[in-house]
Amino acid sequence: MHSLKDCFCLKKTRHLLETHDTLASETCFSVNDVEALYILYKRLSSSIIDDGLIHKEEFLQALFSCSHRQNLFADRLFDVFDLKRNGIIEFGEFVRSLSIFHPKAPQQDKITFAFKVYDLKNTGYIERDELKDMVLAVLEESKLTLANDAIESIVHKTIEEADLNGDGRIDPKEWKELVTRYPSLIKNMTLPYLEEVTVLFPCFVMTSKVRDSQLVYGN
């Protein structure tokens, strides 16, 4: 005869499996992949604050091995992963966001995610100052230094080419057209090892060595 504790644990396990099944049906991951990601999630969510949720400090620790490092790019990634905007990343948010980096994820999902990262003020547009701030953040993370004139030139040429309606900013449609012409803009949105999460645990470093020719776009 099962004890009350056994029944409770069984019910909890079934609920967890149903959640994994749901996440698998809504993402590019299989149920086994989701289970592997759950193990990773538990490790990350207990690395600093052991409460089963990923806080920004833990996210930065996983991303850059430094929980106190200030980086606009990392902050934006956390904000976009945090779908509920409550300052933490729950397991469902973790899986759904990582799925966008899967090689089989639709191109539009990658384009939309990248746009949100650059849209610092959440206005629905990428403005000149936001683009410059993100260029500086990416250069900093890459440990590269450019003269201010060179940075201004990058920002100016990007806005000039992308801003088709001449309003001085980039809207989602213009961003999509720019990425269509230059797919390398979202190359880091594809992480090949996410196809093998049950074989090789993902290191959760948001860099990609995939070549443009290897990018797999959905419809």
Give CA separation, 143 vs 26, 132, 153, in Å.
37, 16, 19
> Of the candidates 68, 205, 74, which has an alpha carbon nearest to the alpha carbon of residue 134?
74
Q: Confirm if 62 and 48 have CB atoms less than 8 A apart.
A: no
pLDDT recorded at residue 213: 41
Q: Which residues contact residue 212 at a Cβ distance below 8 angstroms, ignoring those fewer than 6 apart?
A: 183, 184, 187
> Of the candidates 160, 41, 158, which has an alpha carbon nearest to the alpha carbon of residue 89?
41
C-alpha of 106 from chain center: 14
Encoding tokens for residue 156?
């100016």
Give me the phi and psi of 154, to 5 degrees please. Answer: -60, -45
> Tens of pLDDT along the chain (219 residues)?
445 444 444 444 344 444 899 999 999 999 999 999 999 999 999 999 999 999 999 998 887 665 555 678 888 999 999 999 999 999 999 999 999 999 999 999 999 999 999 999 999 999 999 999 999 988 887 788 899 999 999 999 999 999 999 999 999 999 999 999 999 999 989 999 898 887 655 444 444 444 434 434 334
Instruction: Kindly give the pairing relationship between strand 126-127 and strand 169-170.
Output: antiparallel
Q: Confirm if 45 and 54 have CB atoms less than 8 A apart.
A: yes
pLDDT recorded at residue 60: 86
pLDDT recorded at residue 65: 61
Q: Count CB neighbours of 147 within 10 A.
A: 8
pLDDT recorded at residue 219: 40
According to DSSP, the residues that pair with 50 across neighbouring strands are none
Q: Confirm if 155 and 128 have CB atoms less than 8 A apart.
A: yes
Beta strands in the chain (DSSP E): 54-55, 88-89, 126-127, 169-170
Encoding tokens for residue 137?
């953040």
Q: Which residues contact residue 117 at a Cβ distance below 8 angstroms, ignoring those fewer than 6 apart?
A: 73, 76, 77, 80, 134
